[in-house]
Chains A and B, each alone.
Chain A
Amino acid sequence: MAKDTSESAGRVAGVAYLILTSLADGEKHGYALTQDVVAFAGVRIAPGSLYEALARLEGQGLIEPVASSDRKRPYRLTAMGAGVLDEYLSAQERLAIEGRRRLRASWRFA
């Protein structure tokens, strides 16, 4: 059977930050969140990985559930979660800038 590489990638590529990024523009329930992550990152988060990460993030106070009458409970970013995501993205930006600079200098990448 063909291996679903997108699901494997989701497990090792920082599911937590994919979730935080998805929730950065508003609350979403689990399925909408996975669809959003597929759209912006090309990664499909498998259900077990998703809910393990949601539980962990909720426990860390980085996201919180939103009251809903629907079975599909939405989640939203907390202020702490927004701060953690911002810090992570800043570090990634610094890494990207430095990596680009070194590639241009040594490998003639534009």
Chain B
Amino acid sequence: MALRVNAEHVEAGSATTKRALGYLRWYPSAWRERYGEEFVAHLEIELAERPVSLARSSDIVAHGLLARLSFQRGLRITLGATVTAVIATVAVVAALSSVHHWAPVTKSSGYDGGTSGVGQFATPSQVNDVSFNFTTHARVAIRITSVKVISLQGFLAPEVVGVDFAPHFSELANDHGWPIRLPNGTTTQAQGRTPLIQAIGTTVTLARTDALWLGLRAPKLHHAYAVEEVRVTYERHGVSHTMVIDQARAPDVICSSSSRKEIIPTWCSQEISAANAIARFSADGHRASKRPSDEAQMVASFALSEVQASGHGAPTLIAVRHWAARFFPAHRAGAILSVTGVVDVGVPEWRFVIRDESNNSSVVLCTNRGLVGSGGGMTGVGIESCPSPL
């Protein structure tokens, strides 16, 4: 049975269901059609039992991307004279909440309708396309005036290089269409099949299955780009509105790589895992059970996963400071104000000074000696009160 991710489903569903649907979007549409329902049912139970598991997240992301690779290897476009581009597609479902207003409710899984995609990484010369698929109850005439992409904390924001309106999105997708209008001289497999309308400044009438496509570029090599929010400003009946498409729980990530091979680089996998972790952390930021140690635990975990990926050793103080400054800078809530080393030999320990938002004070916490593997490297770390000075 096909899984349809619609507004009613998501509105009626629990937070666990929403998270499960977020994970599902890593898989291609054909896979979702076949396994989506049972996969979500399975994840709902797992997420209820163990809300947080980096290993589980990494496993799902890795297999989702691999599934995309196995489903689609053929489509190439030429962008400019020399670049063979590979397109990744992520779809976001929006819904009309009333006749007079429309707003997105949630994202659907990416890779809709069999369009191309190899996962979220690209060379700086490639353009990734992201679609916002409007599910409307009535035809709505709007004029889009601007589209702004907001980055996730610690990541760069991709450049918006094109905004197009695509009538009859589903037909376009089934034709393996490339919806972003390309510069003169470029070619696509589906060129000319579906007329596209330049969206910015043009009045368009949205109907069911129509879509807005963004062409996104990640120009800085070996950097990760992650989208937390897309703000679409539009006019309707002469009044300006802003539609905020919240991607906080499952951000779109693009890694800019020099490799054109269909392999996700290790650093990119780490960035994807980090983006998902930090997005979930941010989304849960106001929960009552949140403690300052959560920030320290997350930073220690990121630093640890970095050395685990290389197979040995323990994180350096510089690495821990890097992750702390990247995700919990001083100007943000829950800032990590400083990190210092506690022990110079053996398994390192770190002392975190964290701003506690609940009572506007600072909290000092230390890592414990963690778990040490047979090879001598750290395999885990915990957060506790700092030892008393001798």
Contacts and interface: CB of A to CB of B under 8 A. Distances in A.
Interface of B: 23, 31, 34-35, 37-43, 45-46, 53-56, 59-64, 66-67, 297, 300-301, 304-305, 308, 371, 379-382
A30 B42 contact: yes
Interface in A88-103: none
A60 interface: no
A1 B293 CA distance: 13
A49 B63 contact: yes
B247 to A, nearest CB: 21
Contacts of B37: 71, 73
Q: On chain A, which size bracket covers the interface? A: 20 to 34
17 contacts: A1-B381, A2-B380, A3-B308, A3-B379, A29-B38, A29-B41, A29-B42, A47-B42, A47-B60, A48-B56, A49-B59, A51-B39, A52-B63, A52-B67, A55-B34, A71-B38, A72-B42
Chain B binding surface, main DSSP class: helix
A43 to B, nearest CB: 13
Contacts of B39: 30, 47, 51
A7 B59 contact: yes
A4 interface: yes
A30 B305 contact: no
A55 B67 CA distance: 10
Contact of B59 (A47, A55, A70, A71): A47
A2 B46 contact: no
Contacts of A51: 35, 39, 42, 63
Nearest first, the 6 closest Cβ-Cβ pairs linking A and B are: A2-B380, A48-B63, A1-B301, A46-B59, A71-B41, A4-B55
A1 B54 contact: yes
